[in-house]
Amino acid sequence: MTRPAVTVGIPFYNAGSTLADAVRSVLAQTLDDWELVLVDDGSTDGGIEVARSLRDSRVRVVSDGRNRGLSARLNQIAEFARSKLLARMDADDLMHSDRLAVQVEYLDRNPKVDVVGTGMYILDGDGRPVAKRPASTAPLTARSVLTGACLMHATVMGRTDWFRQNPYYDPACPPVYPEAEDFELWCRTFGASRFARIPDPYYYCNEHASFSMSKYARASRSVARAQWRYGLRLIGFLGCCVLSARQAAKFLAHTCAAGLRLQGRMIARRSIALTPSEAEKVAADLARIRSIVLPTSPGESAGERAGAR
């Protein structure tokens, strides 16, 4: 069997209301030489039925009925991938129609790059484009990686062998870094790997819909743990003390914002508002993606079932 140019891996847990649109955005890609691996993490909301209803030879569904966590599922996707390149995606987001073509072409032109990320568009709670967050073009340093300015996780595409050689920490094998699996991975592999960023946005993130303070609290603890574990070697004790103080201040600011119900403003501060022409162009791409009819079994409609939830 001929290997596809890229594997798209989507781990999902109780994503029955959003998975159909995520899959539509893969079907909408201008590069169609891909395979899609959907890995269920023990969903109980009907999401697995949405996945299993798909009838496309490029789509594989994996489910063992267990809830093992994101890290384990990402490692599983890397093992299942048949292509030399692997693209990340979250089940509640969408991809810009040109995403795969742009990143595959970049990695083909830059064989020494291991992982490349892009910027992203931000969607509001109703799925409308409201802002963009370009990827930084500043040189990556130890300090910038330790402050979280490396790669936006869901946007990354990398070489499958790299992900196999540098797995995420599995919850079954502590230490673990809940909600910051990617941050720990970039810190652990910095210096021995080459990361790159495409500043333009090629990903649609439902950030407002997915934010929660409980997740943010877990992420903050994980980030602090990783900063001390790898920062001592990279920037020394005093540097780690500064990072810890900044992380504590950031967490306090988000806690206050949550108490005042201003989380949306905190999220918006990290992004750039779209101009009317940009918003119109992005909205047209999203409309085209969402209009795609999913290939399903006769008498089944993953899109209708997802929309009814």
What is the pLDDT, as a whole number, of residue 308? Answer: 34
pLDDT exceeds cutoff 70 at 251: yes
What is the per-residue pLDDT across 12-35, written as a single tens digit (0 to 9) for each?
Answer: 999 999 999 999 999 999 999 999
Q: Which among 236, 239, 148, 226 is positioned nearest to 184, based on CA atoms?
A: 226
What is the pLDDT, as a whole number, of residue 144? Answer: 94
Calpha distance 214→1 (Å, rounded): 45
Calpha distance 299→309 (Å, rounded): 18
Segment of 215-219, 236-240, 260-264 carrying the highest mean pLDDT: 236-240
Place of tokens 């108490």: 259
Task: Find the farthest-apart pair of alpha carbons in the chain and give their distance in angstroms, rounded.
Answer: 63
Q: Is the dihedral of CA 146, 150, 156, 161 positive or negative?
A: negative
- Give the least confident one: 85-89, 137-141, 171-175: 171-175
Going along the chain from its start, the domains and CATH numbers come out as 6-293 (3.90.550.10)
What is the pLDDT, as a whole number, of residue 159? Answer: 98
221-228, long-range: CB < 8 A, 24+ apart:
222/176, 222/177, 222/178, 222/179, 222/180, 222/183, 222/184, 223/148, 223/180, 223/183, 223/247, 225/175, 225/177, 226/177, 226/180, 226/183, 226/184, 226/187, 226/188, 227/146, 227/187
Average pLDDT over residues 96-100: 98
pLDDT exceeds cutoff 50 at 305: no
The rounded radius of gyration (Å) of the Cα atoms in the chain is 19
User: Which pLDDT band, with edges at 50, 70 and 90, does 309 fall under?
Assistant: very low
At what angle are helices 70-80 and 181-189 packed, to 10 degrees? Answer: 60
Contact present, 56 and 38 (Cβ < 8 Å): no
Place of tokens 């501060």: 269
What is the pLDDT, as a whole number, of residue 271? Answer: 85
Rounded to 5 degrees, φ, ψ at 48 are -65, -35
Calpha distance 213→268 (Å, rounded): 16
Calpha distance 216→202 (Å, rounded): 24
Calpha distance 261→122 (Å, rounded): 19
Task: Answer whether the bond into residue 174 is a cis peptide, omega within 30°.
Answer: no
Place of tokens 């943010």: 216
According to DSSP, the β-strands at 6-12 and 94-95 are unpaired
Average pLDDT over residues 148-156: 95
What is the per-residue pLDDT across 166-214, written as a single tens digit (0 to 9) for each?
Answer: 999 876 776 778 889 999 999 999 999 999 999 999 999 998 665 677 7
* Mean confidence (pLDDT) of the chain: 90
CA 142 to chain centre: 22
pLDDT exceeds cutoff 60 at 301: no
Contact present, 195 and 107 (Cβ < 8 Å): no
Higher pLDDT, 125 or 287: 287
What is the pLDDT, as a whole number, of residue 176? Answer: 79
